[in-house]
Amino acid sequence: MTDLLNQILTGLSIASILLLVSLGLAIIYGAMGVINLAHGDFLMLGAYAVWLMESVFGLGFLPCLILVFFIVGAVGWLVERTLIRHLYGRPLDTILATWGVGIILQQGIRLGAGAQLRYVKMPDYLVSPIHVFGVDISAYRVLIFAVTIILVAITYLLIFRTGFGIRLRAVMQNAEIARCFGINNARIYSLTFAYGAGLAGLAGALVSPLKSVSPDMGTNYVVDAFLVVVSGGVQSLFGTVASAGIIGEMSGGFAYLWNDTLARALLFFLVVVLIRFRPQGLFAMQLRRG
Amino acid sequence: MHVNRRSLVKSALGLGVVGAAGFPHIWIKSADRAYAAGGDIKVGVLYSLTGTTAIIETSLNHATLMAIDEINAAGGVNGRKLVPVVEDPESDPATFAQKARKLVLSDRCVSVFGSYTSASRKAVLPVFEKYNNLYWYPTLYEGRECSQNVIYTGAVPNQQQKEFIPWLVKNFGKRFYLIGSNYIYPKEENNVCKILLKQLGGEVVGEEYVPLGHSEFSSVIQKFQDTKPNVIFSTVVGDSVVALHRQYKAAGLDPAKMPMASLTTSEEEIAAMGGEFAAGHFTSAPYFMSYDSPENHKFVEAYQKRWGAGKVTNFVSEPAYFQVHLFAKAASKLGASDLHPAEIRKAAWGETFQAPEGLVKIDGDNSHTYLWPKIGEAQVNGQFKIIQQSAEWVKPLPYWAYQGEVCTPTGMMEKKS
């Protein structure tokens, strides 16, 4: 019984990290249709921002998280204003351009902060595990889980319960008609992109004390994020949440039964099969693209 | 004497043949002059300064250049200065091969110091074997290689494990979980570990390889919790080392009961994960920065003075440093006319040097190096406390795990049945 519980919790923990790293991408890819290959590097930027603020300015971890959201969000806003906005409706060019942005960010960090692994401190009160239902779980992973749920809730409210959300959904459904109703598309796009980038930065900051911080850390996460978003169904927040849950539990289960190398290969295989038979993903919404 | 055109051509040809066959030293002499051009001796320095492994390889480049400066300051090799030719192979095996060819052919270096990964060493081997030059390789590696054109100064599995495994069994118990990154090095090390465990009556309760760069260890840690091994034997490398240690501690595992015993965790990785996550775990290596010897104090002090106060030395940069001194000692036994790679290799056999880790010697049978294995316990301050060190230097046995296979001075591996 505790074994099963342990396994479910392990899966949930993997799932929450997956959801955390793919949420920003779900917004940018889902809402705007921009295939953002720099997503992993926004994440990396978030990890470096927290490292810089901790080690140079001596800020605490939690205040850093809030600042990181705005810093990386600002970088995202800048990238959208100067580059992405000229490429709407040209998906192939966007892929190339965002990939280029990713390389620039990576090499910029390499030049500025050096190529070595960087140390982000885990807050002392989160290092020890906590007991839940007779099993030990990492307090830090519980924090990640909680923050992820909060972020999903905020994102949901933002899209479905605010004026900004109504305008965003209008632009998603039909950009031309939305403009006829006086909605400033350009502004909606910039803010959405900035929000997605900010989420990516926050994700990077949150995983950095548990994993490692290096200039090329984003590469692995961007693959995970696309895996989750594509199999969940583009434009579906619920789909992203559900597919992060399924992929997390499956990869935890496979890794437990066999090993991580095989788990990863098997997961990719299953996603390829899924996309072959259900290209729109598991939980696709029917929306027209503007 | 009647000279016609035909006999003139004949005799000229004859002279030419005599010249080429009868007086070969003419040609060799010119080659010698090239190896000690202008009285200086050119050596290649082939470590990546950019790319994936740039961090660690830059420290090897630094250690090498520092040793060259020391040798030159002390009068060089029989009065001739060592001139380093530095190339950046960009962490890419193909570029390694290309730069190696340049160092050997166009710069005419008499030896090249280089490589961190086995992949890059394998990539340059054909170059050194084809042109019969000499490559000096400082990294600990999986063994099972025996090239005529390489001097290996890093540890092979028997040197890191022969005392480590019995020590772990004695102090913690017989149940081992083997965890490594998914490539050749961890698999070969684990082969050796399994043989030693069998001899000691130990048991492998799990063996697992994670993808390179893997950072999600929750499933692995759950298996640790399920199987409850006495020792986790880790050959995980790179970023994954950091993630594994952090998640181990965050999951509430205790190094006092289930320590990780590593062959790959050095001061560099500990700096990146934070000392509190490494404390209580063990590493076996011939060198630790904290080792107390006059040579090591001098080495660390000189290194930090030259390259920056916060810099750490580690078990790869130390061999990168002492192998240059071994090269210089071997080369100084040779006259100017004998200075070429094959002669240096012969002169290097049996050569010794008082290195930071202790007195080291190049083995005449297999061109690997006698080293001083030590067991270190990681401390909160990021350094290792040395718990035990071998009573004598340990002979390198690159084919230890493979019965009937040995390395011989001709460089070939022989099957003795």
pLDDT tops 70 at residue A102: yes
**What DSSP assignment string belongs to B84-139?**
EEEE--TT-HHHHHHHHHIIIIIS--S-EEE-SSHHHHHHHHHHHHHTT--EEE-S
What are the residues facing B262 on neighbouring strands? B234, B283
Beta pairing, strands A135-138 & A129-132: antiparallel
The pLDDT confidence band at residue B363, using thresholds 50, 70 and 90, is very high
Residue B223: closest C-alpha in chain A: A256
pLDDT at A47 over 80: yes
Q: What is the pLDDT of residues A225-250, one digit of tens each?
A: 988 988 888 778 888 999 999 999 99
Mean pLDDT, range B311-317, rounded to an integer: 91
Chain B residues in contact with A54 by the CB 8 A cut-off are none
Determine contact, residues A144/A17, Cβ cutoff 8 Å: yes
3-class SS letters over B350-409: CCEEEECCEEEEECCCCCCEEECCEEEEECCCCCEEEEEECCCCECCCCCCCCCCEEECC
Q: Which two tokens stand for residue B334?
A: 């040779």
Is residue A282 packed enough to be buried (19+ CB in 10 Å), middle (13-18) or exposed (0-12)? middle
Say whether A211 and B251 touch across the interface (CB within 8 A): no
Residue B20 has pLDDT above 80, yes or no: no
So what's the pLDDT on residue B148? 86
Between the CA atoms of B384, B389, B394 and B399, what dihedral angle is there, to the nearest 10 degrees?
Answer: -50
CATH superfamily, domain B159-285, is: Response regulator (3.40.50.2300)
Q: What is the largest CA-CA distance in chain B?
A: 103
pLDDT confidence tier of residue B26, bands split at 50, 70 and 90: very low
Quick one: pLDDT at residue A58? 82
Check residues B5 and B192 and name the one with the higher pLDDT: B192
Tens digits of residue pLDDT in B141-160? 998 888 889 999 999 999 99
- Predicted local confidence at residue B4, as pLDDT: 56
Position A28 pLDDT exceeds 60: yes
Average pLDDT score over residue span B379-401: 92
Query: How far does the CA of residue B19 sit from the closest CA of chain A (Å)?
Result: 57
pLDDT at res. B17: 44
| Of A59 and B10, more confident | A59
Identify the residue among A19, A141, A259 best suited for mutation to test binding to B, counting B beta carbons within 10 A and taking the highest: A259
| Cβ pair B218:A252 closer than 8 A | yes
User: Does the fold of domain B159-285 match that of domain B37-155+294-362?
Assistant: yes
User: Is pLDDT above 70 for A286?
Assistant: no
Say which of A10, A211, A251 has its CB closest to residue B215. Answer: A211
Closest CB to B250: pick one of A115, A117, A129.
Answer: A129
pLDDT of A32 over the 90 cut: no
Q: What is the mean pLDDT of residues B181-200?
A: 91
- Between B209, B215, B246, which is nearest A259 by CB? B209
The Cα–Cα gap between B417 and B395 comes to 22
Q: Nearest 5°: phi and psi at B260? A: -90, 130
Contact B55 A117 (CB under 8 A): yes
Min distance B212 CA to chain A CA atoms (Å): 9
* Average pLDDT over every residue of B8-21: 46
3-state helix, strand, coil in chain B (%, to 5): 45, 20, 35
Q: What is the pLDDT of residue B44?
A: 96
* Residue B310: predicted pLDDT: 81
Query: What's the pLDDT at A214?
Result: 85
Which pLDDT score is estimated for B273?
86
Please indicate whether, in this complex, the C-beta atoms of A129 and B223 are within 8 angstroms of each other: no
A137: chain B residues, CB-CB within 8 Å: 251
CB contact under 8 A, A129 and B252: yes
Size of interface A-B (CB pairs under 8 A): 103
B62 compared with B51, residue with greater pLDDT: B62
Average pLDDT on A200-213 reads 90
Average pLDDT, chain B: 87
Rg (CA), chain A: 19
Mean pLDDT of B282-303: 95
Which of A7, A118, A260 is the closest to B214 by Cβ?
A: A260
In the CATH hierarchy, which fold is given to the domain comprising A2-277?
ABC transporter involved in vitamin B12 uptake, BtuC (1.10.3470)
A15 within 8 A of A247, measured Cβ to Cβ? yes
pLDDT of B409 strictly over 90? no
Rounded to an integer, the average pLDDT of A26-35 is 83
Of B55, B219, B240, the CB nearest to A10: B219
| Spatial strand order in the sheet of B112-114 | B82-87, B41-46, B112-114, B135-137, B150-152
Domain extents in chain B: 37-155+294-362, 159-285
Asked if B242's CB is within 8 angstroms of A6's CB, the reply is: no
So what's the ipTM on this one?
0.82
Please count the other Cβ atoms lying within 10 Å of the Cβ belonging to residue A6.
21
**At residue B137, does pLDDT exceed 90?**
yes
Taking 80 as the threshold, does the pLDDT of residue B24 lie above it? no
Mutation choice for B interface testing from A13, A223, A260 by most B CBs within 10 A: A260
Q: Please indicate whether, in this complex, the C-beta atoms of B251 and A136 are within 8 angstroms of each other.
A: yes
CATH number of B37-155+294-362: 3.40.50.2300
pLDDT in the model for residue A283: 80
Report chain A residues whose CB lies below 8 A from the CB of B252: 128-129, 136, 138
pLDDT in tens, B369-381: 999 999 999 999 9
Burial class (CB within 10 angstroms; exposed 0-12, middle 13-18, buried 19+) of B395: middle
Contact list in A for residue B225 (CB cut-off 8 A) is 6, 136
For chain B, list residues whose CB is within 8 angstroms of any CB belonging to chain A: 52, 54-55, 182, 208-211, 213-216, 218-220, 222-223, 225-226, 239-240, 242-243, 246-247, 249-252, 268-269, 271-274, 276
Which helix or strand (DSSP H or E) is residue B209 part of? Answer: strand B203-210
Residues A197-219, mean pLDDT to the nearest whole number: 89
Residues of chain A that touch chain B, judged by Cβ-Cβ distance less than 8 Å: 3, 6-7, 10, 13-14, 17, 114-119, 121-122, 126-129, 136-141, 209-214, 216-217, 220, 251-252, 255-256, 259-261, 263-264
**Which residues from B are below 8 Å from A128, CB to CB?**
252
Give the pLDDT confidence of B227-258 residue by residue, as tens digits: 999 999 999 987 888 899 999 998 889 999 99
The SS3 of residue B308 is: coil
- Contact, B336 vs B32, CB < 8 A? yes
For the segment A269-289, the average pLDDT, to the nearest whole number, is: 78
Among A117, A119, A256, beta carbon nearest to B223: A256
Mean pLDDT of chain A: 87
Does the structure show a pLDDT above 80 at A263?
Answer: yes
Q: Which residue has the higher pLDDT, A124 or B351?
A: B351
A126 neighbourhood in chain B, CB within 8 Å: 250
For B37-56, write each residue's pLDDT tens digit. Answer: 567 899 999 998 877 777 78
Which residues in chain A have their CB less than 8 angstroms from residue B209's CB? 259, 261
At residue A53, what is the residue type?
M
* Token output for B150: 């390489």
pLDDT of residue B14 exceeding 80: no
Report CB contact under 8 Å: A259, B210.
Answer: yes
How far is it, in rounded angstroms, from Cα B254 to Cα B260?
10
Q: pLDDT at position A279, please? A: 84
Return the pLDDT at B176.
96
Half-sphere exposure of A94 (CA within 13 A, CB side): 19
Q: What Rg, from alpha-carbon coordinates, does chain B have?
A: 24
